[in-house]
Copies of this chain bind each other. A is one copy, B any other.
Amino acid sequence: MTKPSSLPKPPPAQDDARRKRMTPAARAQHILDEAAAFFAERGLATSTRELAARLGVAQALIYRYFPSKRMLIDKVFETTFARLWDDDWTMLLANRAQPLEERVARLYVAYLERAGALSVRLFVRAGLEGADMARRYSVPLTEKLLRPMIGALRADSGLPDFDQAPMLRGERELAMALHGAVVFLGIRKHVYAMPMPDDLSDLVRLQVRVFLDGARRELARLHDGTAEDSLTVQQLDRRRQRRAPAPPDSTA
């Protein structure tokens, strides 16, 4: 046991939660992390006293770092939502060295893994609680997942990219078919607690296989203009106005 007083900062092990005193930043993070897991498991209505017990800390301490329970929950939502997305997904999807099925499967295996029980449960709780999911979830979902997804699908089918043809409402809903099926895997496991394998990869791959077969055809329908029944009337009108004749489709 040497005497480290000569060093300005002896290894403080700031990540050790059992320390009596922590730096404000570390303590705030500590509370935030535990609160996320705690509220995900036990529900947002569970008392701050129980959370404090889990933290091994006096209940009053929580209020030194967060002005109210509401604000703590909001912060939990904020950070959990922000953590979900991975910008690498765009590149992963665009990498045509691998077959489309493999890329999409990898993407959604990664998505489910990144979400995990905590996020899945928190997201559903946030939705029920009236958090602004449309802004917090739907918007980044479209930009960081669905759009790259449709781009890859289009490229795979030899269809024009977004520069030449903006994303169609029907395309978003098409991508949502797979997204919904995969997310529902997580909901079955983490919300409904149904018997599911530890590793959902094989189930994800099944969803992807089923989806891709139908999606290629549907995408072709959407772009050759025959089956546009999934679009709203207004969108159809706008779309018809935009293109004078039917665009010649040179692809197979």
Tell me if A128 and B127 are in contact (CB < 8 A). no
Tell me if A194 and B43 are in contact (CB < 8 A). no
Q: Which residue of B lies closest to A217 (CB)?
A: B213
Tell me if A206 and B177 are in contact (CB < 8 A). yes
Q: Which residue of B lies closest to A135 (CB)?
A: B194
**Is there a chain B Cβ closer than 8 Å to A170's Cβ?**
yes
Q: Which of A121, A193, A210, A214 has the most CB of B within 10 A?
A: A210
Q: Which residue of B lies closest to A211 (CB)?
A: B214
Q: How far is the CA of A102 from the CA of B202 in the complex (A)?
A: 30
**Is there a chain B Cβ closer than 8 Å to A27's Cβ?**
no
Q: How far is the CA of A193 from the CA of B212 in the complex (A)?
A: 28
Tell me if B192 and A138 are in contact (CB < 8 A). yes
A98 → B minimal CB distance (Å):
17
**Is there a chain B Cβ closer than 8 Å to A180's Cβ?**
yes
List chain B residues, Cβ under 8 A from A206: 170, 173-174, 177, 218, 230, 233
List chain B residues, Cβ under 8 A from A218: 206, 209-210, 213
Interface of chain A: mostly helix, strand, loop or mixed: helix
Tell me if A209 and B205 are in contact (CB < 8 A). no
Residues of A133-156 whose CB lies within 8 A of B: 133-134, 137-138
Question: How many residues on chain A are close to B (CB under 8 Å)?
Answer: 55
Partner of A184, one of B130, B184, B191, B215: B184
A181 → B minimal CB distance (Å):
4
Partner of A128, one of B124, B138, B173: B124
Given A129-B43, A214-B211, A218-B210, the answer on whether A233 and B203 have CB atoms closer than 8 Å is: yes
**Is there a chain B Cβ closer than 8 Å to A88's Cβ?**
no
Q: How far is the CA of A212 from the CA of B185 in the complex (A)?
A: 19
Known pairs A138-B194, A180-B187, A206-B233; list 19 more (Cβ under 8 Å): A43-B129, A127-B187, A127-B191, A127-B193, A133-B192, A134-B194, A170-B206, A173-B203, A177-B206, A177-B207, A180-B181, A180-B183, A181-B181, A202-B232, A202-B237, A203-B233, A206-B218, A209-B227, A212-B214
* 8 residue pairs, one from A and one from B, having the closest CB atoms: A180-B184, A213-B214, A210-B214, A45-B45, A133-B192, A180-B181, A214-B214, A127-B191
